[in-house]
Structure 1
Amino acid sequence: MNLLKIIVEKNNVIKTTSLFIIAIGIQRGINFLLAPIYTRILSLEEYGNLSAFMTWCSVFSVVFTLNLSNGSFNKAMSKYENDRARYLSSMTGLLFVSCLIGFLLILAFRYFFCYFSLSFLEIICLFISIYFQMVVFLYCSKIRYEHKAVLTFIVSLCYAITIPIVSLLIFIFICKNEIGIILGYSLSISLLGSSILIKILLSNSKMYYLPYWKYAFKFNFPLIPYYLSSVILGQFDRIMILEYCGKEYTAIYTIAYQLSLVLLIISSGIDSYITPIIYDYLKKGVFFKVKKITWISFYFSVFFIIFILSFTPEIIYIIGDKKYISASYIVPVVVLSTFFTFVNTFVLRLLFFYEIRIIVMVITSLSAILNCYLNFLTLPLYGYQAAAYTTAICYQIVLILNCVVLMFFDKNLFKTINVHFIIKLHLFLYILVYIQTQLLDKILFFRIMFFILIVWGLIKMYKVINSSFPEKIFK
């Protein structure tokens, strides 16, 4: 009976995770497909303004929602196992107070944010969006923790489909500019979020419970610098480009980052699937299997990087048009940054497994400050393209420093990330990025032949290296 129970629980976890990944994949896939529509109808200035709004949403969501669906929430679901409904409802109350304080602060300093192209209407839409979005995330975290696979999939799918479809309808039939997309984004999230909020409050109407508020605040507030630094590293460069270079170049830079969505979908799916497996092997002390998992994951991601690099101009023309073609020259660097992030995710999994958080937070925060400083120095001199290089440098620094921390903490654990292979892979990608940059203006036939040659070489190398591991991973 115990064995049967364990098998059922593991199947529920796999089912829940798989359905969640599918829903997120659908959402990002729809957003990727909608990009060509928006880029062809919106001007460069309007698309740049939309990008700036979404970036501010990411920043404010961390600061003014305390990122309540992360950090403390999963631990609270275990700690307060018999009182989950009240914990969830109390978090919606804390979230409301936090967002209200944030909204009042922004109103008090409204002229500062108008300087960064946020109108009063956009500020209202922004806070409506981040509040109801976090309500959805809190509810999804709870039902995902309880392994309610079908319900998790339904809610995630509604979130994935409703937002882009409503935004597109309002954009087409009511307001054919970036404001239409922003209004549709806020309206769709508020409709879904309010219906979930009603469901939460019907289960438990107590939005205020001081012990739970104190617990969540004490846990999440110190982590805000880490979460905020991650957002700054990934997105704040667009705000600085908007300031120093203009909305048109912000739009071009954003299109370059749209290509990284493909790699992000793949990497998030891989990470969600293998993280429980890695943690299970770490508990058992089976380090060599963790090493092979990381090796296969990195190798798998390289194939998609090569594909993106080989056909960058064609993909840019599909998701944008000829007015965005200059984004092709920063795509190789952007993709390289995405790969650094992907590798760093594995290192962080090992560090977080042993609860090494403060050093990670300091490293990420300092790197975010360095990124802003480098952008401050280089954007006025070299234009928007400099932001891609400064971000890649900072991601590389974060990865190196996290690896150093891991090495000093546990050398056996450090060996699981296969650092020699990572170094070789990085050197290979540096060379590949340089070559592909030189081939961007060449005939498509040469790029296709180069792509086939590289993939053939990687497949041969994969067979040789794979044979060096004595056992299979998934038994």
Structure 2
Amino acid sequence: MIDSIKKIMNNRVVKAGSWYTFTNFFTKGVAFLTIPIFTRLLTPADYGVTSLYTSWLSILTVIISLDLMGSIGRGKFDFKEDYDGFASSVAFLGFLSFLIFSIILVIFRNAFSAFMGLDLPLFYILIFHSFFDFILNFTNAKFRFEYKYKIVSMVTILTSLVGVALSIYFILNIFEANRALGKISGQFLPISIIGSFYFIFLLSKGKKFINLRYWKYALLLSIPLIPHNLSGIINAQFDRIIIDKFLGSTPTGIYSFAYNVGMIVTVILVAGNTAWIPWFYEKMENKEYLKIKKRGNLYRDLFTMAYGAILMFSPELIKIMADESYWEGLIIIPYVFGAYYFQFLYTFEANVEFFLKKPALISIGTILSAVINVVLNIWLIPIFGYIAAAVTTLISYIFLFIFHYLMTNKIIKKTVYGIRFHLISILYVTIITLYFVLFQSMLLPRLIGLLGILGYFYFSSFRKYLKD
């Protein structure tokens, strides 16, 4: 038994997943715990500016880099004999794209800054921030595919801690008259320093700047993903915009807080998928489909167990993390958690599409899901309130999963997991979530439910894997 556990813990996928899970929990924890600090250091107007800046940063990073990060994973296998050269060439292409976009943005700076609602100092920082954000994410992605998970984790944690410390220092000592600029500058400075170092590292290690073959490969994979990632941003943020427009800031705050509780599931999802992808690509390359499906069952069961455990304790989490004015947000918790579970299921099929280099199909599925989300939000939120936003988010993620399942299994005709795998997953999430809804206000039945979840997955899945 002990030897079997050691075998699992020494597996590099499990090691990577453990590091990424800890890192994600740590950085999300820092972000969450510093919210009370920044709400006291910043006025609501300043806080709004920093939130607006973050939204534009997400959008501009995708556009200004041509989303070239989307090619780094597949390139590991198609150019394994010159992976460093491929990475340096694509990074340099991203730099050229940044220069072209920067010239356009600076020439029309007044129009763009007014459109974004940012003053010129923040607008200029935003341009450079987007490039260094791309380089940071691009290099970390490369390291993940090389299983250098310790470097990724340490850099991520360091950036988070230094960014918070600098933001507080700048607000209190340098930018007292423009505190939003102080917070943003504190975030920007460590990313720009590490991003500069990473950029030099990539170019010096790969020693290739211009390679038209690598550029064409990267552009064909990445550009079709731009609508996909922009649609993902819409899926994540549009509901809050509509709630604020029709219902005001208080419902928006309650809704956002409840979503932050659900974000614990996202941390596990991101960490798990980050560790899963390199191993999955290796097995796909070797056509080891049975091994993928077998390990996929274990991966699914681990995530489902974590999902159930967090869901059962979510009422207590909300009551510990906020006062009674936020507690009404409990009503949307089942929908929020359900949406994240279908997002998890979607990653199984999306990873197949990424490996098979079908970025256009990935974008189509995500865009359709975003359109459903936007239409339903505009239609239903004014009628039913913010609970409609949670329901429509769940619906849009169900369709996101369905679209991508149909893409891989019916259009590409590449079945890796199969319908039975997903039906079992849906059965799991349905039973667990309905049980929670029935006993949401009663702690003891939820504790019994948690024990049932742990016992079921141990005897049905984990014990079998330990024996193998």
TM range (shorter): 0.7 to 0.9
Structure 2 residue 430 is the aligned partner of structure 1 residue 427: yes
Give the letter aligned to residue 309 of structure 2: F
Instruction: Report the Cα distance in structure 2 between the residues aligned to 1:276 and 1:205, rounded to whole angstroms.
Output: 24
Where do residues 241-320 of structure 1 align in structure 2 (5 Å cutoff)?
A: 241=243, 243-244=245-246, 250-275=252-277, 280=283, 283-286=288-291, 289-290=294-295, 292-317=297-322
Aligned position for 1:454: 449
Aligned position for 1:23: 23
Instruction: Report the Cα distance in structure 2 between the residues aligned to 1:42 and 1:347, rounded to whole angstroms.
Output: 42
Alpha-carbon shift at residue 185 of structure 1 (Å): 1.2
Instruction: Report the Cα distance in structure 2 between the residues aligned to 1:147 and 1:73, rounded to whole angstroms.
Output: 14
Structure 2 residue 139 is the aligned partner of structure 1 residue 135: no
CA contact (8 A) 1:133 1:193 kept: yes
Give the letter aligned to residue 373 of structure 1: V
Q: Report the more deviating stretch, 406-415 or 386-395.
A: 406-415
Where do residues 147-162 of structure 1 align in structure 2 (5 Å cutoff)?
A: 147-148=147-148, 150-162=150-162
CA contact (8 A) 2:342 2:397 kept: yes
Structure 2 residue 106 is the aligned partner of structure 1 residue 120: no
Identity of aligned pairs, percent? 25
Deviations 1:145-201 (A, max 9, x none): 444455444434433433333234334544574443222111221122123334445
Alpha-carbon shift at residue 350 of structure 1 (Å): 4.5
Instruction: Report the Cα distance in structure 2 between the residues aligned to 1:432 and 1:114, rounded to whole angstroms.
Output: 50
Q: Secondary structure at the match of 1:23?
A: helix
Alpha-carbon shift at residue 394 of structure 1 (Å): 0.4
Alpha-carbon shift at residue 365 of structure 1 (Å): 1.0
Structure 2 residue 89 is the aligned partner of structure 1 residue 90: yes
Instruction: Report the Cα distance in structure 2 between the residues aligned to 1:459 and 1:304, rounded to whole angstroms.
Output: 8
Aligned position for 2:348: 346
TM-score normalised according to structure 2 size: 0.80
Q: Residue 41 and residue 233 in structure 1: after superposition, are their counterparts in 2 closer, same or farther (change >3 A)?
A: same
Alpha-carbon shift at residue 395 of structure 1 (Å): 0.6
Instruction: Report the Cα distance in structure 2 between the residues aligned to 1:427 and 1:13, rounded to whole angstroms.
Output: 28
Give the letter aligned to residue 167 of structure 1: S
Unaligned runs of 5+ in 2: 1-6
Aligned position for 1:220: 222
CA contact (8 A) 2:312 2:450 kept: no
Deviations 1:346-390 (A, max 9, x none): 333355455555433312111112212222333444454433222
Instruction: Report the Cα distance in structure 2 between the residues aligned to 1:22 and 1:82, rounded to whole angstroms.
Output: 32
Alpha-carbon shift at residue 141 of structure 1 (Å): 3.1
Q: Residue 277 and residue 116 in structure 1: after superposition, are their counterparts in 2 closer, same or farther (change >3 A)?
A: closer
Q: Residue 347 and residue 412 in structure 1: after superposition, are their counterparts in 2 closer, same or farther (change >3 A)?
A: closer
Deviations 1:323-366 (A, max 9, x none): 65554443443222222212222333355455555433312111
Aligned position for 1:189: 191
Instruction: Report the Cα distance in structure 2 between the residues aligned to 1:388 and 1:132, rounded to whole angstroms.
Output: 33
Instruction: Report the Cα distance in structure 1 between the residues aligned to 2:42 and 2:396, rounded to whole angstroms.
Output: 32
Q: Secondary structure at the match of 2:69?
A: coil
Instruction: Report the Cα distance in structure 2 between the residues aligned to 1:198 and 1:286, rounded to whole angstroms.
Output: 39
Q: Residue 249 and residue 47 in structure 1: after superposition, are their counterparts in 2 closer, same or farther (change >3 A)?
A: farther
Instruction: Report the Cα distance in structure 2 between the residues aligned to 1:132 and 1:287, rounded to whole angstroms.
Output: 35
Q: Secondary structure at the match of 2:346?
A: helix
Structure 2 residue 465 is the aligned partner of structure 1 residue 472: yes
Give the letter aligned to residue 425 of structure 1: Y
Instruction: Report the Cα distance in structure 2 between the residues aligned to 1:116 and 1:244, rounded to whole angstroms.
Output: 21
Q: Residue 325 and residue 245 in structure 1: after superposition, are their counterparts in 2 closer, same or farther (change >3 A)?
A: same
Instruction: Report the Cα distance in structure 2 between the residues aligned to 1:243 and 1:473, rounded to whole angstroms.
Output: 52
Give the letter aligned to residue 296 of structure 1: D
Deviations 1:207-252 (A, max 9, x none): 5554443332232112212222222222343344455555665544
CA contact (8 A) 2:56 2:116 kept: no
Alignment RMSD (CA, Å): 3.8
Unaligned runs of 5+ in 1: 1-6, 440-446
CA contact (8 A) 1:140 1:152 kept: yes
Aligned position for 1:444: none
Alpha-carbon shift at residue 455 of structure 1 (Å): 1.5
Instruction: Report the Cα distance in structure 1 between the residues aligned to 2:274 and 2:229, rounded to whole angstroms.
Output: 19
Where do residues 45-124 of structure 1 align in structure 2 (5 Å cutoff)?
A: 46-70=46-70, 72-81=71-80, 83-103=82-102, 108=108, 111=111, 114=114, 117-124=117-124
Q: Residue 105 and residue 473 in structure 1: after superposition, are their counterparts in 2 closer, same or farther (change >3 A)?
A: farther
Structure 2 residue 32 is the aligned partner of structure 1 residue 32: yes
Give the letter aligned to residue 395 of structure 1: Y
Instruction: Report the Cα distance in structure 1 between the residues aligned to 2:172 and 2:333, rounded to whole angstroms.
Output: 30
Give the total of aligned pairs: 452
Instruction: Report the Cα distance in structure 1 between the residues aligned to 2:385 and 2:104, rounded to whole angstroms.
Output: 33
Q: Secondary structure at the match of 2:465?
A: coil
Aligned position for 2:3: none
Give the letter aligned to residue 375 of structure 1: N
Q: Report the more deviating stretch, 231-240 or 387-396.
A: 231-240
Instruction: Report the Cα distance in structure 1 between the residues aligned to 2:247 and 2:174, rounded to whole angstroms.
Output: 30
